[in-house]
Amino acid sequence: MANSKYEYVKKFEEDDRLPPSNWIVVRIDGCHFHRFSAEHEFEKPNDEKALNLMNACALAMLEQFSDIVFAYGVSDEYSFIWKETTVFYQRRASKMLSLCVSYFTSMYVSKWKDFFPHKELKGPPYFDGRVVCYPKSKIIRDYLAWRQVDCHINNQYNTCFWMLVKSGKTEKEAQEFLKGTQAKDKNELLFQQFGINYDKLPQIFRKGSSVYREKVENIVKVDGNGNPVRRMQSEVVVDHMDIIGPKFWSEHPYILKEE
In the annotated binding site for GTP, the residues are 29-34, 75-76
Please report whether residue 146 would count as binding a second copy according to CB under 8 A: yes
Stretch that binds a second copy, among 43-51, 128-136, 164-172, 235-243 (CB under 8 A): 128-136
* Residue 81 near residue 71 (C-beta atoms within 8 A): yes
Task: Provide the H-helix boundaries in the chain.
Answer: 33-39, 48-64, 93-115, 137-166, 171-178, 183-194, 203-207, 247-251
Detail the residues annotated as belonging to a binding site for Mg(2+): 29-30, 76
- Minimum distance of a second copy from residue 112's CB (angstroms): 9
Give CA separation, 14 vs 20, 62, 85, 93, 202, in Å: 17, 28, 22, 11, 46
Find the binder of a second copy among 44, 116, 121, 249 (CB under 8 A): 121
- Minimum distance of a second copy from residue 7's CB (angstroms): 6
Find the binder of a second copy among 39, 44, 103, 169 (CB under 8 A): 103
Could you check whether the bond before residue 45 is cis, i.e. omega within 30 degrees of 0? yes
- The packing angle between helices 137-166 and 171-178, to 10°, is 130
Please report whether residue 130 would count as binding a second copy according to CB under 8 A: yes
Residue 140 CA from chain centroid, whole number:
14
Please report whether residue 98 would count as binding a second copy according to CB under 8 A: yes
Stretch that binds a second copy, among 9-17, 68-76, 199-207, 223-231 (CB under 8 A): 9-17
Find the binder of a second copy among 88, 116, 134, 248 (CB under 8 A): 134
Q: What DSSP letter does each residue of 151-199 carry, written as one string?
A: HHHHHHHHHHHHHHHHTT--HHHHHHHHTT--HHHHHHHHHHHH---GG
* Residue 211 near residue 59 (C-beta atoms within 8 A): yes
Find the binder of a second copy among 51, 62, 71, 101 (CB under 8 A): 101
- Torsion angle, alpha carbons of 131, 135, 137, 139, to 10: -80
Q: Letter for the amino acid at 72?
A: Y
x-marked contacts with a second copy along 195-234 as a string, rule CB under 8 A? ----------------------------------------
Stretch that binds a second copy, among 69-77, 145-153, 157-165, 206-214 (CB under 8 A): 145-153
Find the binder of a second copy among 52, 105, 158, 175 (CB under 8 A): 105
Q: Letter for the amino acid at 219?
A: I
- Whole-number Å distance between alpha carbons of 165 and 12: 53
Residues that bind a second copy (CB under 8 A): 1, 3, 6-15, 19-22, 28, 31, 60, 89, 93-95, 97-99, 101-110, 121, 124-136, 139, 142-143, 145-146, 149-150, 152-153, 183
